[in-house]
Every structure is written in structure tokens, then in C-alpha cells.
Chains A and B, each alone.
Chain A
Amino acid sequence: MTGSNFFTRKITGIFLFMCLSLSLACSGQPMGESNGSQGGNSKLTGAGSTFVKPMMDKWTNEFGKLYPSVKIDYSGGGSGAGIKAIQNQTSDFGASDAAMSDDELKQAKGGEIVHIPVVLGAVVLTYNLKEVTEPLKLTPEIIADIYLGKIKKWNDEKIKKENPNAALLASDITPVFRADGSGTSDVFTDFLSKTVPEWKEKVGRTKNPQLPQGVGIGGKGNEGVMGQVKNTPNTIGYVELTFAKANNLPTALVKNAAENFVEATSETVSSAAAGMTAKMPEDLRYEITNAEGADAYPISGMVYILAYKDQKDTVKGKNLADFLWWAIHDGEKYVKELHYAPLPAELVKKTEAKINSLSNGGKSLRP
């Protein structure tokens, strides 16, 4: 009996202790709630695109060194999570690899949303072919045929025609696609829809591509696609440029609108955006796939910061505007080392105007 009493006492004791310590944690003052005074401490939270997370980590950290009172917490979670966060106002800003649709904008609870491009990315095709040493050259038609299951072998005439010197064997091609809804798939399918009519009809532009039955395997996330391509011979997959560069994957040269085979680099991606800036609408919601320009990499895209035009909290709004301004100017020097592409000068101008449009009760937040 003493044993059992000891047992119950012990358990009760542990629970009381845990409850006590947790209630202490609950009653704490929320951190970072600003009192409206300018330049005060402020914590900004953001969610969204995982693709841009390494970039945001670098930027928020460097910005924090310059302005220690401003704490910016970017948590990733996926572009969709970023859109939901800004719609439901659970974060101060969102980030997305694709512009919000009209329908999505309508569901935003806090009024008008501004799209602010901060950095560019690209989707590259990577493959696992031991015998091939030179980068493969691929046309939109070849890519579409592979992903539609029409080209089944690596030594198909169409591939050989563009790559006469490559050691292509009669092995089965296994295409790998992104199975999770992603901006990567969106950019990839948008490019193919613009260039190959059959693709547009059968698959179309979508975050969730469905290939014909029995063609290809789906990977979860960039890392999933990359892992499967790395481990499985004769596969081909599409991943973000940063993944390919950081892991030294072979990447194919892709034929652009000017009929040149272009390698994906920071320069060719920036050049794609430069060629299209003039065509962008006022709200900057635009796809820069299949861009004009001799050296434009055709499967490129923009990453947007999403924020409400009317910032309810002056301090937070001002800090956000200052941070974004800093990111596209002084912060630009960190872009290439992380294998992203910087905004071209033309686009920086348009983006500046967007940042300056952030306001509080009609008053602009930036001097």
C-alpha cells in the first residue's frame, strides 16, 4: 500500500510541477507587440514559399544585424501556406513562387494585396545518365513528349537529333514530377503550355500536374525529386535551380523563344525578367516563362512578397517596407552566392514603386 501511495503521489507531483511551469509560459507578456511609437521594437512574421527560405534566412539575419530592434521571423511552410497566411491575416507578410489568382485575392480578409517581387528563380531539368558527359540539349517538344510518355527511350530519334554526340542508350526513360502542389510545377507546366499545344490540352498549366497513367513517378518536394533522380538510373526530373547548383547536378540546356539552347544561370534568369519587364501589368502579376531575348532562360519565375497595401500597424508596416527596400538594393549582393537570380534594373524600378505604395491610413510609410 505504501508503494502505491508513493506511486500516485509521485505522478501527481510531476503533473503539478509541469502545469505550474507551463502556466508561467502562458502568462508571459506577448513579445514584440509594438505600442505605435516609431522605430520601436517590432517582430514581423512571415510564411510561405520554401523555395525562397534560404534567401529570406540570409536577408532577415543580415538586416537584423543592421537594425537589431527589428526582428523578422520567416517560417516557410510552402507558397500555399503563405497565401493562406496573408488571406487569414495570421502572418504580417506572405511569400509565394506564383502570383495570387483573382479568386485568391478576393478571399483576402484585409483588403488590397500588393505583389512585390524580390528575387528570381528557375526550374531546371536534371537527369541520371552515366554515359552522357556533355549537358543534354532539350527542346520544349522533347520535354513534353517525355512527360507525356510519347518518347520512351533515351535513344529516341528526336533526342538524338539535338544531341548527335551524346552517348544515348536504348534505356527506358523514367520521368520524375513534383507530386506536391508547388510553384515549381506551376512554372514548368506554364512553360510547356505556352510552347507545346498538346501539353496545354492534355495537362495544362497547374501546380498539380497529372501525367498519363503509368508515365513517371512523383517525388515529394525538390528534395524528393532530386533524391529519386540521383538514385535511379535513366531518370529525368525538374527541380529549382538552387537545388541543382547547390548539389552539382547535371542540368540540360533548354531551347528558348529565340531558338537558342540556354543554360540556367543567375544571368540568363535575370535576362528573362529583363526582356519581359516592359510587358508586365501594373500589379506585376506576370509569368516570365518562354521570355524573349537571345540569352533568356525560358523556365524562369519570380518570387513575390505578399503584403496588404494598407498596413494596420505603422511600425510593422514601416519596418516591412524598409526591409524590402533594403533587400532589393543592399541585400542584392547575397543573391548570387545562394544561387538565386537578382531582379534586373528595369524591374527594380517597378518594385520600388510597389514598396512605396505600402501605406498606413493613406499615409506612405517610406520617406
Chain B
Amino acid sequence: MAKTGTTGDKIFRTVLLIAVSIIPLIVAAIIYMMVQNSLPTLQRFGVGFLTGREWIPAQETFGALPFIYGTIVSSVIALIISVPLSLGIAIFLVEQAPKNLAKPISFMVELLAAIPSVVYGLWGIFVLAPFVRDYLGAFLQKYLGFLPLFQGRLTGIGMLTGGIILALMIIPILTAVVRDVLEVVPVTQREAALALGATKWETTKVVLGNAASGIAGAVVLGLGRAIGETMAVTMVIGNSPQISASVFEPAYTIASVLAANFADATEKIYLSALIEMGLVLFFVTFAVNALAKLLIIGVSRRNGVAKA
């Protein structure tokens, strides 16, 4: 019995190891392909590619900084909006709502993950952008207009609208994963907290503390989706490679410049620049993930959660 067990375990572990090794293999192959195809600009511009602020394909001037800025800021806006909302709805679904209400709601939220990006984009142009221009933006400008964040021309097309679209698109994945994470926290935890006289919210806080690492994982997944999103953002962000303090001004993200231009780019140097942008995105995601990991470790330590 023990012997078959070990053989079985060996086979099992080998199969798992092969499966898991496919992931680094894919990453390595993609990086290899991208480096190979972006050699012309890598050699020609070097680090200048990252710090350049001008992007003029016609003159073969390529600087990625405005795109990096746009990618990070739009994703941050998306997270600021979607994380509290998703946490709120997930807590509501798991801790408060009766089962026959929770089921249809979570079902609906998951369905939204399936709407194609281009449809979000069109909805963004026709519904969201006018709303941002006439109501949300106007409101922010009126009451918080003294901040450089909310100054400038208000067309409805820009960083803010891009961030909101992204937030809507990542709410399903965030909510679904956080909900599942909360659901698996043992009932005994809640009972213990309640038995000690904790209020409902304090109990929830205990649950959240226990689920911190899972929640952080969900945020990283959502962030990944936001960073890599293409079509919808392109349609509402205004597609101007500039660095502006105002969230009303148009901006550009790495993923959307790729989506908008790759299909029609045929010049070798331009293709190379676009693929190098993909490479840059890889490393931006790397950096953001590393940062997220550090944050998670920090949070888990503070909450005294043993399992990191």
C-alpha cells in the first residue's frame, strides 16, 4: 500500500510539475519572441525608449513614457473605484444577503465578464462619455476644480472615462474571486467573533483579515486585466500620448496603442517599436505585481495572519 502510494505520488508530482512548468515556458517563449522582434528599436534607442516623451511614428521617434504613465494611472483609477465596490458587494453577498438574492446577483456579475471589449467601448462612447462630460466631470470641476486633477477641457473622452470603463470591466473578476475567498473562511471564525460580542461589522473585519491574502490575489488578477485591456480603453481614453495632471485630458495606454496600431503597422521599425512596447508592458506588470506582493506581505504581517 505504502509502496504503490509513493509510486503514485511520484507520477502525480511529475505530471503536476510538467503542467506547472508550462507557465514559465510560455512566458519565456513570449519574451524571446518579443525581444527577437524588437531588436531594431532595442539597439537603436536603448534606455531612451523608456524615458522619451515623444511618439511620432512618421519621424521614427519613439518614447514610451506617456504610455507607461497612462497605463499606470488608468489602472490605479480603475482599482480605486472597483476595489471598494467589489469588496462591498462581495461582503454583501456572503455575509448579509439571503441565498435566494445572492445567487442571481453573483450570477449576473459573472456574466458581465463575457461582454466583449468592443461592446464596452461603444457603450463607453455613447453612454459613459456624455455622462462624464455632463454630470460627473462637471460636478468634480465645480466642487474640486481648484485641484489640477480636475482642470482643463472637459470632453468626456480621457483618462477618467478610461479608468471608469476599466473599473466596470474588472468588477466581475474581482467580485467573483473575493466572494469565493470569503465563502471559504470557516464559519467557526464568525461564530467565535460573534460569541465574543463582536458586532456584525467587526465579525466581517475578522473574516476579511483572514482572507487578506486571497483578496490581494484577486486584486492582482483584476489589475492584470486592467493593465492588459485594449479595445474598450482605446475607444474612450482619447489616444494622445501626453502626460497631463488632469484626469479629464486624453491619455494613452500601452495595451491600447498596441491594439490600435499593430494590425496596420507594416514598417519594420514601427513594428519593432510596438513590440518593444509589449515588452515594456511585461515589465510594468512585473513591477506592479512585485509591489502588490510586498503590500500583501505587509498587510498579512499587520493583521498577524500566519499564512502569507
Contacts and interface: CB of A to CB of B under 8 A. Distances in A.
Asked whether A and B interact, the reply is: yes
A317 interface: no
B235 A219 contact: yes
B282 interface: no
Interface residues of B, number: 41
Interface residues of A, number: 41
A235 B155 CA distance: 9
Interface string B241-269: 11010000110100010011111111110
Given A210-B55, A224-B235, A217 B263 contact: no
Nearest to B260: A180
Given A220-B231, A228-B157, A80 B239 contact: no
A80 B156 contact: no
Interface string B97-111: 000000000000000
Nearest to A210: B56
A83 interface: yes
A348 interface: no
Interface in B205-258: 231, 234-235, 238-242, 244, 249-250, 252, 256
Contacts of B256: 220
Looking at B56, B57, B125, B153, the one whose CB has the most chain A CB atoms below 10 A away is: B125
Contact of B130 (A209, A210, A231): A231
A90 interface: no
Contacts of A214: 240, 242, 244, 249
Interface in B263-293: 263-268, 270
B265 A217 contact: no
Interface in A157-187: 172, 174, 179-183
Contact of B264 (A103, A182, A219): A182
Interface string A188-231: 00000000000000011111111101101111100110011001
B250 A217 contact: yes
A83 B266 contact: yes
B250 A218 contact: yes
B92 interface: no
A81 to B, nearest CB: 5
Nearest to B274: A181
A77 interface: yes
B59 to A, nearest CB: 8
Given A104-B266, A179-B260, A227 B156 contact: no
Given A174-B155, A218-B239, A219-B239, A179 B122 contact: no
A206 B155 contact: no
Contacts of A183: 264
A290 interface: no
Interface string B152-164: 0101111000000
Given A181-B260, A182-B264, A218-B240, A227 B57 contact: no
Contacts of B129: 228, 231-232
B139 interface: no
Contacts of B55: 210
A103 B267 CA distance: 8
A288 to B, nearest CB: 21
A215 B261 CA distance: 20
Contact of B235 (A104, A205, A209, A220): A220
Contact of A217 (B59, B231, B238, B267): B238
A43 interface: no
B45 interface: no
A227 B125 contact: yes
13 contacts: A83-B266, A101-B267, A103-B267, A174-B155, A179-B252, A181-B57, A203-B58, A204-B59, A207-B264, A213-B240, A217-B240, A220-B231, A231-B129
Given A217-B158, A232-B129, 7 more contacts: A84-B266, A179-B234, A204-B59, A207-B57, A217-B155, A217-B239, A231-B129
